[in-house]
A and B are shown apart, each in its own frame.
Chain A
Amino acid sequence: MQEFKLPDLGEGMQEAEIRRWLIQPGDTLKLDQPMVEVETDKAVVEIPSPIAGRVSAIRVQEGTVAKLGDVLVIFDTPGATSAPARPVVTTPAADSPAAAPEITSQVSMQAPTNGVTVHQRVLAAPAVRKRAFELGIELANVQSSHPSGRVTMDDLQHYIEHAQQESAASPPVASDRVSELAPAQANGARRSASVSFGKQQEEAEERQPLTGLRKRIAERMERSWRTIPHATAFDEIDGTALAALRQTLKPVAEQRGVRLTYMPLLVKLLLPVLKEFPIFNASLDEEKREIVYKRAYHIGIATDSPEGLLVPVLRNADQLTIMQIAEQLEHLIAGAQKRTLALSEVSGSTFTLNNVGSFGGSSGTPIINYPETAILAVGRLQEKAIVQDSKIVARTMLPLALSFDHRVIDGALAGRFLSRFRALVEQPQQLLLDMI
């Protein structure tokens, strides 16, 4: 017997949501075989098996939150690494002929243990079994709606919905949908109330518990908004030179296989400003009442993912070339879409840049990525009629919105920060002055 506890995943994470099991009780694991997907604050992380051995029990259900040190898995380990990891599918000819008549019986129709206990096959069509495996669900745990015990796609769907709702909602929030799907689980008062009006109420509104990434986003936004007195400074700057610069560099980058967007350029232009105004690359230690200036420049990039906002982090951005930033951004954004980012790639940012324009808005007031001190939102580049020397000219304008922690940053400083950034964006060649 050996217990496996939720390990410290770094960055002070105290808990993680068990997202998906990749193993089942009875499986024989290889060392480092992925065991489980857990979701921490912003990342989905796979935890590999620390030993080779057979899984005796899984202690934490999918969808529930485990605390640091909670027992997740119990292994059978007679010796240290006894059972020489026996593959599921290969049938070594050395096995006694009686034990291995064919692959198929080994996989599922025969008792995997000693052949005496009958392995109860769950009656389910191949498509249902395939889906269950995809979702990491043990079919034996799924309740059948048929007297024969046959598990159908519908049963599987009910199981999933049920598991999600159970894990997310505490009883009082139990929704109308729950009571209809699983009458046994429903809370008495609500059910009697919904007998007559149930149908109509259901149509009028639908409740969905906050789970997964949505729940994290909500928690973080709440914390930031409640703790930090936000103030936002607006400006609109001339992006004509920036657009021209990008046009010039774009084909060159393309030849090297990189799609050059505005973001890498904006990051590069932002860095000298952050260095000149270190308070913007800092955080406030609320307990000790101390300002913590960060020496590293890890730029968070607010990114839309199918499940919600993610902030992948461009680490040590000040040590990267524009091309390197572009390459890393492509990787980070693709990773955010697929939710395959490592924990180090979504945490530890020191300042956050939010390209509101890419989401379709012209501008917006961003909420600070707690515990940072500021966040810069850049809007959509748009041609506008601008008065210059008493003449109307067409210029490509870039709206900016800088939210800052008013406890440590004053409005005047935010203004100076923006005007320095304006100077750099309007004359990007200034970058050359400080280049080594």
Chain B
Amino acid sequence: MVVGDVTTAVDVLIIGAGPAGYVAAIRAAQLGRHVTLVEADSVGGVCLQRGCIPLKALLSASERYQQMRQESLAEMGISAETVSFDWPSMQAWKQSVVERLVNGVQRLIAGNRIELLKGTAWFINSEEMRVEGEELSHRLKFEHCVLATGASAAPLPDLPYDGQQVLTPEQALQLTELPAKLSIFGSDYIALELATLFARLGVQVRLYTPGDQILPDVDATPLRLVQAGLRKLGVQIATKADIAALDERPLVVSNGVRPNTARLSLDEAAIKITEQGGIIVDSMQQSSVPHIYAVGDCTGSRALASIAIKQGKIAAEVLSGQRVQFAPLVVPLVVHTTPELATVGLSAEAAERAGYSIITGRFPLAANGRALTLGTDAGVATIVANKDDGSVLGATVVGPRAGDLIGQMSLAIEMGATLTDLSEIIYAHPGLSEMLQESADHALNQAIHILR
């Protein structure tokens, strides 16, 4: 194939410059390794270019638009007569946010003296990879390799994605024209956020969930508020839907992802994968071949950038000789609906299933002063704790800025904080965080602002 092929020796070879890959590259460079990073596209991965970041940008733009139209503004004495939006401009703004972030990542890569190769890579054997791009063809012999190739929308058996009538979530975010009607199939946070986004912009949205409820594994009380919020936006929700019987178009399907591992020639390196194609790794991110690591979505773990980022750091540290592992107790999940939902740790049901005897507490947003001054009262904080020692096992927050509030509950759980710990500290008043304290107090049967 290539005449006069010369093998180049590299130290650390990282495939994929998404959140897992570029973080691994930077961390390894910090630890003094020489890093070669291979990416076929521009840096940042799905999260930055076509997933989380574009979706969150459009969500916040659509939220501003929607809030301007609410009657509640009139109650505050504000009148906004002609509020309108321009979809192409909104898209252009989204793109500018993406580009700014891509530039930032590029600067970090260059600043850490990481060599970036534009191309695709596959294994020749367990010590060498071929990298090919439009302008290059290399045979690289590596000391350590980190695979961070991500995942793509899982294909549907009889329903090919065409980007027009049947769309992946990524494709839905790139629609050049807003449709009048849009059907969405799925029950994960992506399906809910897409429904929220398009409904806010006046699209008639129907949401079909495959199972009984949206967001399985979230407690019922907070979930009802999210469901009510979607209905208020005009989203029609149908449960137990059969995708084969769905003939409404355009249709967006959020059906999970499948690891991008098919083109890596993993067999040549004897790297083991699961039936779904996820690269099998241990808690130190090592694959069945110890000097080859895999991080992020290509391992088949939950497709969350937060997990990918941590795994990227772990792999870089392990290959640099440190003994560390990926072992978080909890991973927070945020859903940007109206109201916003954020959850971390175990739901009451999951905690009981795991064998804990539990106590729970809750506090409604309507009893929080700060929430009322923000002009909103739809929300709640719930908390689940271990009855034996009072340690916090899980928490869910629904309401404004829930995604930011949940961070302190992650900290509480990871640190092994108890309900009493939460009850003892001082929260700024009036503040939304007080909800968390009062939910802990409620579990201890001492909440002030609700009647027992």
Contacts and interface: CB of A to CB of B under 8 A. Distances in A.
A17 B292 CA distance: 30
Interface string A102-120: 1111011111000111110
B300 A92 contact: yes
Contacts of A98: 353
Interface in A362-391: none
A34 B290 CA distance: 10
A108 B329 contact: yes
B302 A111 contact: no
B416 A123 contact: yes
A126 interface: yes
B355 A126 contact: no
A359 interface: no
B324 A105 contact: no
B276 A93 contact: yes
Interface in A1-56: 30, 33-34
B416 A88 contact: no
B415 interface: yes
A105 B354 contact: yes
B443 interface: no
Interface residues of A, number: 43
Interface stretch (B71-79, B280-288, B372-380): B280-288
A119 to B, nearest CB: 7
Interface stretch (A129-137, A237-245, A265-273): A129-137
A102 B322 contact: no
A148 interface: yes
Contact of B301 (A89, A119, A125): A89
Interface in B259-305: 274-276, 278-283, 288, 290, 299-302
Contacts of B300: 90-93
Nearest to B351: A109
B217 A118 contact: no
A104 B331 contact: yes
Given A89-B283, A109-B354, A133-B324, A103 B416 contact: no
A101 B278 contact: no
B393 interface: yes
Contacts of A87: 274, 280-282
A89 B282 contact: yes
A115 B416 contact: no
Interface in B78-103: none
Contacts of A134: 322-324
Interface string B340-375: 000001100010011110000000000000000000
A104 B345 contact: yes
A90 B274 contact: yes
A115 B353 contact: yes
B289 to A, nearest CB: 10
A91 to B, nearest CB: 6
Contacts of A126: 328-329, 414-415
A97 interface: yes
Interface residues of B, number: 45
A336 to B, nearest CB: 15
Contacts of A103: 301-302, 307, 328, 331
A149 interface: yes
B350 A105 contact: yes
Contacts of B290: 34
Interface in A76-90: 85, 87-90
A395 interface: no
Interface in A121-158: 121, 123-126, 129-130, 133-134, 136, 148-150
B354 A115 contact: yes
B331 A102 contact: yes
Contact of B416 (A34, A130, A150): A150
Interface centre among A33, A87, A97, A107 (most CB of B within 10 A): A87
A428 B357 CA distance: 81
Contacts of B355: 110-111, 115-119
A109 B345 contact: yes
Contact of A89 (B322, B324, B326, B389): B326
A89 B284 CA distance: 9
A94 interface: yes
B327 interface: yes
Contacts of A90: 274, 278-281, 299-301
Given A94-B275, A104-B330, A89 B281 contact: yes
A354 B452 CA distance: 81
B415 to A, nearest CB: 5
Interface in B300-340: 300-302, 307, 321-331
Contact of B302 (A102, A116, A117, A136): A102
Interface string B141-180: 0000000000000000000000000000000000000000
A134 B350 CA distance: 30
Contacts of B322: 134
B104 interface: no
B341 to A, nearest CB: 15
B346 A109 contact: yes
B416 A111 contact: no
Most A CB atoms within 10 A — which of B275, B278, B282, B322?
A: B282
Contacts of A109: 329-330, 345-346, 354, 393
B133 interface: no
Interface in B54-75: none
B391 interface: yes
A120 to B, nearest CB: 9
Contacts of A102: 217, 302, 331
B327 A107 contact: yes
Given A30-B288, A93-B300, A116-B355, A125 B280 contact: no
A318 B300 CA distance: 52
Which 6 residue pairs spanning A and B have beta carbons closest together? A123-B416, A118-B355, A110-B354, A88-B283, A134-B323, A104-B330
8 contacts: A93-B300, A94-B275, A103-B331, A108-B329, A126-B415, A134-B322, A148-B418, A149-B389
Given A89-B282, A101-B350, 19 more contacts: A34-B290, A90-B274, A90-B280, A90-B281, A90-B301, A91-B301, A92-B276, A102-B217, A102-B331, A104-B345, A105-B350, A109-B345, A109-B346, A111-B355, A117-B355, A118-B355, A124-B416, A126-B414, A133-B327
